[in-house]
Structure 1
Amino acid sequence: MSLNAISTSAAGLAATQAAINIVSQNVANAGTAGYVKRTLSTVANGPNNSGVATGQITRSFDAAALNQLRLETSGAAYTSTKSGIATQLDALYGVPGSFTSLDGTLNTFTESLQELAANPTSAAARTTVLGNASAVASLINSAAGTVQNLRTGLESQLGTDTSAASTILSNIAKLNGKIQNTTDSTSLTDLQDQRDQAINSLSSYMDVQTVPQRDGTVSVMTRSGVTLVDRGNAATLSFDGRGVLSPTASYATDPAQRTVGTITATLPGGGKIDLGAPGVLRSGSLAAEIEMRDQTLPQAQRQLDDLAAGLSTALTNTASTGTYSGTDTQISVSTMKPGNTITFPVTDNTGAVRNVTLVASATSSGTIVPAAQTTDSSGLTLTFNASGGPSTYAAAIQSAFNTFNASGSAYKLPTLSATPVSSTGTSATLTLGAAGKVAGAASASVSAVSTSDLNTGNPSLAMFVDGSGNKLYTGSFDGGSQLTGFAQRITVNGALSGNTAALTATSATDTSASGARAQKLFSALTSTQQTFSSSSGIGGVSAPYSATVIGFAQDIVSTQGANASNASALDATQQTALSTAQSRFSAGAGVNIDQEMSNLIALQTAYGANARVLTAARDMLTQLLQI
């Protein structure tokens, strides 16, 4: 027997022993989280491939399955976060139709108005109306407060999650450095497992993708293309949280105007990227938290603000409609308070019909109100200075039009014009034109009441007021939008507590009890259509939505219920997708005990065969030495 056989068998024993060690390691770590199955390759060695040697220890997994796992992990964290907040939001409004729900509480209030209309002399019925009105205001206050608490909670969670994600990025960069400088294949595979686990953890916070490099490191970037880790260098993430958020807190690309926190990635070279900007993070818990804080919850706040505003103005404002000649519109209005409106449609320069809304102001003319704060976000809302009274309205409106036309606004409207027909100290008749582009009759909404003289606007009544100084709610934009945050401030007019008889006053001059006023207040809430903002998301987002106050409350409850149900269903689907991705990855990367035992039997057979060759060689040499 050639001495080559001895060396070959010895090499075979060493290679087989190394392979058995790998099998043993796989079996021992079968239940270890993040452990990827190892395999050991062998290579031909010696003259004419007469020997064998151990090659590299490699991890056995499907790269495509790993990428899919990270994608589904990110998606599952996103849908889970959204579903959790949507469920909490839905719970604010109670079970639809129940006595304690938002619509149920409103129904109880309107029913008490009906009962008062039937028993106008009953002091108990008047007290019940005020008590139920207070319950409505308190429920709206509470719901709006909880919405802001949820936003504040998300602001805090964003800070915590940002810090955790930043730590993971740093760990990935450190592991990249160790992998780059490690030559031992056993240590290398352990480091690669740790790195993959870190990237998988990162994917629950944000949508990431990896790019392998030739030196064994990986670059990590968001799916929108922001590089967060490049070999041994990692971006540092920070969050400038603002603590307790108010209803006016919002995101803006201009840091000077932004009043919520954002995630800033500071790159190794010193550059900064705003990860909180729309579209940068597309999935993961951070993206969901930003979306819920900046879009979903502000929309819920807007719904409650619109409901509070509708509840107030339905009982205080009188609506009127002008006449349309085919070329312009004529409308009469009485003294207007800041926030009262005149609206008329025009055909813009693209052929589309848009609403122009003129908002009375005590200070300015021609200021364009931001679309998000208006009832009709697709139209144009301009202020006009109404402080001089009706006799100045035409000139003030013309001044507003001139200011708008001179501003070079992006709105595609024709040149606007206004010409007075007649005016007195208390009312004005206006003709509104737009170079023949007026598309219909104008309408106006004017507050007809006072918070202190409860009979001035009979049957209108300031039952619900702005809690800041017991002010009349008009929707003014002077000093900021009165609508924003009104749901937190709405309260029952304090003057009514000491004068409940006003609920049944026959007229402004006759205070004898009559059920007519209570009945008209009931009709204003249950039968009269109000216009609610498209920004509330009820009935679509492209045009104002018309409904009664009661109907709008029911729509809020049903919309939030549907949103919660949809979010829960989407999350369930995504969790199933994640489970499938985990199973697919585990099928390729996990340790199969049966397969490892089969491999072990084969290795034992090979080990025994090599050992028998050495035994035979030993016996032959012994015999030769004895000759």
Structure 2
Amino acid sequence: MSLSAAMKTAQSSFSNVGLQSAVVSKNIANASNPAYARRAAVLATAASGATVVETQRAQNEALLKQNLLSISKTAGQDTLLAGLTQMKTMLGGEGYELAPSTYLAKLRDNLQAFADKPNEVSLAETVVADATDVANSLNSTSAALQKLRAEADADIDTAVTELNRLLKEFKTYNDKVKQSTAAGTQDNDALDQRDKLLTQISEIVGVTTVTRTNNDLALYTSDGTVLFETVPRTVSFEATTTYTAAVDGNQILIDGVPVQAGAGGNTSAQGSLAALLQLRDHAAPTFQKQLDEMSRTLVSMFSENVETPPGSGTFLPTDGLFTWSGVPTVNSPGLAGVIKVNPAVITSQGGNSMLLRDGINETFNVDNNASFSELLNGYAAAFETPQTYDPDAAIDTTGTILAFSTGSVGWLEQIRSAATTASDDKNALLGRTQDALQNVTAVSLDEELALLLDLEQSYKASAKLVSAVDEMITALLQAAG
């Protein structure tokens, strides 16, 4: 090897070490950045020895797609579970102390005690107080459900705004990637940012990717709707500020196509939007329907058959212990929110609790008999009499009021339990897919520090080569005189 060739080799080595050191330094600086993919300087053989030809970015397309899918499923499941847990809290948590079924059982027991001792005013007051507790439980749970729906609607509005922002930003970095690829280079920082945005988008809506010319990405939702193709598609939603049981929320439209709500405890929702729709439009309304059916049944059970008009021989059911205000009929949506105890039996409102025994709308105890219990026994018997319920309530259509109210709690617990199990499974799968992707793309400090040591040795070898050439040139000059 000539001295000039040796110097060129040393210069090439110094250049390579410098470039490789810069790449390693950048890797180390971003070791804690989850959106950063490891870089590697690629060497190729040249006339003057090895040279750095490009900086490659670690990536795995299949693992990235699997990770995006896991993120979407986990986000949807966790969103649903949070809403169902909030619904459980409305009923008092683990013991369901505030559930209508709990208060109905107390009402039944004390009503039977009153029927056994119909002359006890204190028992009458207790029954009225229990009835008030039942009505309050139905009112508060119904109000909390509508608040949950309003919060879900507000969350949808926020998520849609964020999704539009992310898609707009995605276009910026996707254009940078296309331009660099077309120019024969690779913008690794833009690729990092694009993948980071994909991760954030997948938390909101399920997304699949299609790679096109110049590494251009097209995005589609999990059901095939175009989300991004050269330009972002419009995601639109009109928020509803006030919710009642009779109010339906607006659709989410992506490129004019409605987003479908998730279904089931192990929800089919991918991303938070579909899960929020499931809560707002399915889970909460179904539970509201159950509350309304309980309320309707209570009004019916405690109604009094009054001859109307008197002497006509025609008897019509008239509100007894329970009545309502606001909604037009007993079958209208939202009855649970407005059911109340008849003021005629509430002492603090000028009523008389003993009317429950004698009759609220007309006197059935015409002889003012202290042992009169015909009405009370009828009310107690109604608790054991099967009633018919709307199939839309999603539980048994025939059964006693206590069985139906308990079934409502069971329905919520069943779907919440399924959601909890599914959440654990999907989070575990997400953890595994993230680990697998990180094993390919993440920076290992141990590996980077070991590579720095190798580069240090390469630098020392090149320095020794330069020193040797310098000594040889010095000796040659001295010999030439």
Shorter-chain TM-score range: 0.7 to 0.9
Aligned-partner Cα distance in 2 for 1:32–1:88: 34
AA aligned opposite 2:317: V
Number of corresponding residues: 461
RMSD of Structure 2 on Structure 1 (CA): 2.9
Aligned-partner Cα distance in 1 for 2:304–2:375: 14
The match for 1:434 is none
Within 5 Å, give how 1:420-569 maps onto structure 2: 448-451=316-319, 462-468=320-326, 473=330, 475=331, 482=332, 484-497=333-346, 498=351, 500-505=353-358, 508=364, 510=366, 512-513=368-369, 514-525=372-383, 527-539=384-396, 545-569=397-421
Question: How big is each residue's C-alpha offset from its partner over 1:15-44, in whole Å with a ceiling of 9 and x where there is no partner?
Answer: 232112211221222112311110011122
Within 5 Å, give how 1:206-285 maps onto structure 2: 206-231=205-230, 233-250=231-248, 260-266=249-255, 272-275=256-259, 282-285=269-272
Contact kept in structure 2, 1:57 and 1:185, CA below 8 Å = no
Shift of 1:426: 7.4
Aligned-partner Cα distance in 2 for 1:186–1:605: 30
Within 5 Å, give how 1:42-53 maps onto structure 2: 42-46=43-47, 50-53=48-51
Aligned-partner Cα distance in 2 for 1:96–1:61: 46
Shift of 1:58: 1.5
Q: 1:95 and 1:104, CA in 2 relative to 1: closer, same or farther beyond 3 A? A: farther
Structure with higher strand content:
1
Q: Does 2:467 match 1:615?
A: yes
SS at the partner of 2:317? coil
Contact kept in structure 2, 1:264 and 1:276, CA below 8 Å = no
Q: 1:100 and 1:219, CA in 2 relative to 1: closer, same or farther beyond 3 A? A: closer
Shift of 1:299: 0.5
TM-score by length of 1: 0.68
| Amino-acid identity (%) | 24
Question: How big is each residue's C-alpha offset from its partner over 1:406-441, in whole Å with a ceiling of 9 and x where there is no partner?
Answer: xxxxxxxxxxxxxxxxxxx979xxxxxxxxxxxxxx
Shift of 1:580: 1.9
SS at the partner of 1:181? helix
Aligned-partner Cα distance in 1 for 2:24–2:251: 49
Q: Which range moved further: 133-142 or 90-99?
A: 90-99
The match for 1:122 is 120
Aligned-partner Cα distance in 1 for 2:329–2:304: 11
Aligned-partner Cα distance in 2 for 1:195–1:622: 55
Aligned-partner Cα distance in 2 for 1:586–1:96: 38
Pick one of 441, 452, 456 that aligns with 1:589. 441
Shift of 1:550: 1.2
Question: How big is each residue's C-alpha offset from its partner over 1:76-134, in whole Å with a ceiling of 9 and x where there is no partner?
Answer: 21111111111111122236777644222111211221121122122332222222212
AA aligned opposite 1:612: K
Q: 1:165 and 1:51, CA in 2 relative to 1: closer, same or farther beyond 3 A? A: same
Within 5 Å, give how 1:189-208 maps onto structure 2: 189-208=188-207
Q: 1:304 and 1:235, CA in 2 relative to 1: closer, same or farther beyond 3 A? A: same
Q: Which runs of 5+ in 2 are unaligned?
A: none
Question: How big is each residue's C-alpha offset from its partner over 1:379-413, in whole Å with a ceiling of 9 and x where there is no partner?
Answer: xxxxxxxxxxxxxxxxxxxxxxxxxxxxxxxxxxx
Q: Does 2:451 match 1:599?
A: yes
Shift of 1:262: 2.4
Shift of 1:187: 8.1
Contact kept in structure 2, 1:504 and 1:512, CA below 8 Å = no
Contact kept in structure 2, 1:173 and 1:230, CA below 8 Å = no
SS at the partner of 1:229? strand
Pick one of 291, 300, 304 that aligns with 2:291. 304
Aligned-partner Cα distance in 2 for 1:34–1:138: 51
Aligned-partner Cα distance in 2 for 1:531–1:201: 47
SS at the partner of 1:449? strand
Contact kept in structure 2, 1:532 and 1:546, CA below 8 Å = yes
Q: Which range moved further: 1-10 or 80-89?
A: 1-10
Contact kept in structure 2, 1:306 and 1:533, CA below 8 Å = yes
Contact kept in structure 1, 2:31 and 2:442, CA below 8 Å = yes
Shift of 1:278: 7.5
SS at the partner of 1:215? helix
TM-score by length of 2: 0.87
Shift of 1:616: 3.1
Aligned-partner Cα distance in 2 for 1:214–1:617: 50
| Structure possessing the higher relative contact order (Cα contacts under 8 Å, 6 or more residues apart) | 2
Q: 1:536 and 1:98, CA in 2 relative to 1: closer, same or farther beyond 3 A? A: closer
Contact kept in structure 1, 2:322 and 2:339, CA below 8 Å = yes
Aligned-partner Cα distance in 1 for 2:7–2:442: 37
Shift of 1:159: 0.4
Within 5 Å, give how 1:360-439 maps onto structure 2: none
Structure with higher helix content:
2
Contact kept in structure 2, 1:97 and 1:104, CA below 8 Å = no
Q: 1:449 and 1:151, CA in 2 relative to 1: closer, same or farther beyond 3 A? A: same
Pick one of 270, 274, 279 that aligns with 1:292. 279
Q: Which runs of 5+ in 1 are unaligned?
A: 251-259, 267-271, 319-334, 337-424, 428-446, 452-461, 476-481, 540-544
Aligned-partner Cα distance in 1 for 2:122–2:196: 68
Contact kept in structure 2, 1:464 and 1:492, CA below 8 Å = yes
Pick one of 140, 143, 165 that aligns with 2:141. 143
Contact kept in structure 2, 1:96 and 1:557, CA below 8 Å = no
The match for 2:423 is 571
Aligned-partner Cα distance in 2 for 1:547–1:180: 65
Shift of 1:599: 1.9
